[in-house]
């Protein structure tokens, strides 16, 4: 008996807010400049050996996250809205199988608001589609983003 009917990807929708001690433009650049994105993207211990970002409506991105054990997790997608320096909306696709099917698609909305010299960031991650095969990864999505934002904070503090 399969349990697919019990799997509800929307249960993994996540909203995370953070405040960074940096200007909105600096945080924006950290999201849109591939060299900067590569410095903080991914959970603790992960590196980014490949990062391409074309931050414009219809523009694509491709980010490879490499785990400490050497496993590479490709993440690619497309930007839908790019309103500099306040809003990014992009769809992220991951866990592609040999047939080219992605087992996870998430629509992310990043909003940046200025507060003096600080920036309030809100990430809304809406799971558009997912298969039960990626349920464990979905369970780690909030932690993964939180750790990425810790790395972003360290990067911005440098």
Residues 50-83 have pLDDT tens digits of 999 999 999 999 999 999 999 999 999 999 999 9
Place of tokens 């980010």: 63
pLDDT, residue 1, reads 42
The mean pLDDT value for 79-93 works out to 97
pLDDT at position 7, please? 83
Contact (Cβ atoms closer than 8 angstroms) between residue 6 and residue 13: no
State the pLDDT at residue 46: 96
Distance from C-alpha of 61 to C-alpha of 54, rounded to nearest angstrom: 6
Task: Retrieve residue 51's tokens.
Answer: 């990062």
pLDDT digits (tens, 9 = 90+) for 105-148: 999 999 999 999 999 999 999 999 999 889 888 888 999 999 99
Joined together, the tokens standing for residue 136 give: 């464990």
For the chain, give the DSSP string.
---GGG--GGGG-EEEEEEESS-HHHHHHHHH-HHHHHHH-SSTT-EEEEEEE--STT-EEEEEEE-TTS-EEEEEEEEEEEETTTEEEEEEEEEE-TTS-EEEEEEEEEEEEEETTEEEEEEEEEEEEE-GGGHHHHHTHHHHHHHHHHHHHHHHH-
The third-level CATH classification (topology) of the domain covering 8-157 is Alpha-D-Glucose-1,6-Bisphosphate; Chain A, domain 4 (3.30.530)
Q: How much of the chain, in percent, has pLDDT values that exceed 90?
A: 79
Has this prediction a pTM greater than 0.85? Answer: yes
Specify which residues 83 forms β-bridges with.
Answer: 87
Maximum distance among all Cα pairs of the chain, rounded to whole angstroms: 56
The band of 2, judged by pLDDT with boundaries at 50, 70 and 90, is very low
Query: In this predicted structure, what is the pLDDT of residue 5?
Result: 54
């Amino acid at each position: 008996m399969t349990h697919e009917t019990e799997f509800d990807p929307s249960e993994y929708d996540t909203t995370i807010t953070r405040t960074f001690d940096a200007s909105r433009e600096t945080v924006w650049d950290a999201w849109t400049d591939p060299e900067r994105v590569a410095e903080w993207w991914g959970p603790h211990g992960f590196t980014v050996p490949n990062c391409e970002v074309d931050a414009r409506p219809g523009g694509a991105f491709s980010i490879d996250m490499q785990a400490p054990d050497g496993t590479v997790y490709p993440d690619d997608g497309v930007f839908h809205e790019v309103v500099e320096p306040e809003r990014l909306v992009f769809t992220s696709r991951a866990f592609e199988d040999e047939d080219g099917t992605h087992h996870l698609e998430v629509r992310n909305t990043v909003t940046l608001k200025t507060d003096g010299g600080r920036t309030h960031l809100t990430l809304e991650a809406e799971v558009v589609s997912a298969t039960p095969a990626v349920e464990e990864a979905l369970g780690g999505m909030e932690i993964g983003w939180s750790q990425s934002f810790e790395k972003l904070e360290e990067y911005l503090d440098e």
